[in-house]
Amino acid sequence: MKAWLNHHAHSLRIALERFRHAPFATLFTVLVIGIAITLPAGLYLLLDNVKQAAVGVEPRAEVNVFLRIEVPETEARQLAEEIRRWPEVAATRFVSRDEALQRLEKLGLGEITAGLPSNPLPHAVAVTSRDTEPTALDTLAAKLRKQRAVDAVSLDGDWARRLNALLGLGSQAVWLLAGLFGLALAAITGNTIRLQIYAQRDEIEVARLIGATDRFIRRPFLYFGGLQGLLGGLAAWGLTSLMLFLLQDSTSRLAAAYGSHFALSGLDLIDAAILLAASGLLGLIGAWIAVSHTQRALNIP
């Protein structure tokens, strides 16, 4: 066990020495890897913050029914009472055209209808469904549209369902981008390792002649690839944190303009640990593929 640990410690020291001997090349490679990881990580944070801003905003189980303009108030109230007795309806709230006009005037929009000869607003009924599922709301809305006196029907939760659909699409896009840039990370690391192997071909052949095993030769390159990927993940973490810091003030002003307070949140410790582990693993995989392929190409036994 002690000998195994000593071998790994020796390989780690060799990998760190290679970083020390080429600091600028290593720095640029780490920055390229970090930038490649920053895009999917930044999109993930964007979606996560949008989801946090939308917490508690669920589609309301209410359907707004607007009646035809020629329908008298008596008939409109009778229809509202009839709808209230439907088994799928929890409650109804009738809003007369006069009440709607008064609400419009209280909002300071009375001048819109001031020049008209009559009230252009229709009677309306707010229908609350017992079932909040989107399919149940759609079924209720379709049933309401079939009523003779109904002119239009709108669902309050349509925009929320569209937002959820967009967030789902965004999540799929993030995972696709993460996969593509993960392949890019492995390719960058693999290319760096391949160039190192070509540069140290003579050393590798001499090591083989004096009895070095394949694992002994391969291990420093694997450590180098894993460390390079890990450093790239750290760079991506830093870049995303910097982006959030730069956007924080503008986001706060935008939220204040809508009368709310919202602060962007960065990667938590679990997300950061997953990011670092994934980047290190991808660097290790890229190094393994590069070492195996290049050894075969150079006919190194």
SS (H, E, C) 175-244: HHHHHHHHHHHHHHHHHHHHHHHHHCHHHHHHHHHCCCCHHHHHHHHHHHHHHHHHHHHHHHHHHHHHHH
CATH number of the domain at 67, please: 3.30.70.3040
Least confident range from 99-103, 123-127, 226-230: namely 99-103
Task: Point out the domain boundary residue: 95, 130, 156.
Answer: 156
Which amino acid, one-letter code, is at 100?
Answer: A
Three-state SS at 133? coil
Residue that is written with structure tokens 């760079």 in the block:
235
Structural domain count of the chain: 2
Whole-number pLDDT of residue 159: 61
284 CB contacts (<8 Å, ≥6 apart)? 222, 225, 226, 229
**Residues 142 and 268 occupy one common structural domain:** no
Phi, psi dihedral angles at 115 (to 5 degrees) = -90, 5
Cβ-in-10-Å burial (0-12, 13-18, 19+) of 261 comes to exposed
Question: Strands, DSSP E only, in 57-116?
Answer: 62-67, 89-95
**Residues 135 and 213 occupy one common structural domain:** no
**Residues 264 and 177 occupy one common structural domain:** yes
The separation between CA 136 and the C-alpha centre of its own chain, rounded to angstroms, equals: 29
Domain that holds residue 77: 62-156
**Residue 86 banded pLDDT, cuts 50, 70, 90:** very high
Q: Are 222 and 190 in contact (CB under 8 A)?
A: no
Q: Are 37 and 232 in contact (CB under 8 A)?
A: yes
**Residues 194 and 266 occupy one common structural domain:** yes
Of 65, 3, 19, 11, nearest in space to 192 by CA? 19
**Residues 166 and 100 occupy one common structural domain:** no
**Average pLDDT score, the chain:** 76
**Residues 26 and 151 occupy one common structural domain:** no
208 has pLDDT over 70: no
Give dist(CA 236, CA 261) in Å, integer: 27
Whole-number pLDDT of residue 11: 65
Give dist(CA 195, CA 214) in Å, integer: 18
Question: Strands, DSSP E only, in 96-191?
Answer: 124-129, 150-155
For the chain, give the percent of residues with pLDDT over 90.
3
Task: Point out the domain boundary residue: 156, 183, 211.
Answer: 156
**Each residue of 106-162: pLDDT tens digit?**
666 555 555 556 677 788 888 888 876 777 778 888 888 888 888 888 876 566 566
Whole-number pLDDT of residue 6: 61
Give dist(CA 227, CA 22) in Å, integer: 14
**Residues 150 and 169 occupy one common structural domain:** no
Burial per residue of 143-163, b for 16 or more beta-carbon CB atoms within 10 angstroms, e otherwise: bbeeeebbbebebebeebeeb
Q: Are 149 and 83 in contact (CB under 8 A)?
A: no
Task: Point out the domain boundary residue: 137, 156, 175.
Answer: 156
Structure tokens given for 280: 């290190």
Overall average pLDDT of the 214-238 stretch: 81
Of 65, 71, 81, nearest in space to 143 by CA? 65
Least confident range from 36-40, 110-114, 166-170, 203-207: namely 110-114
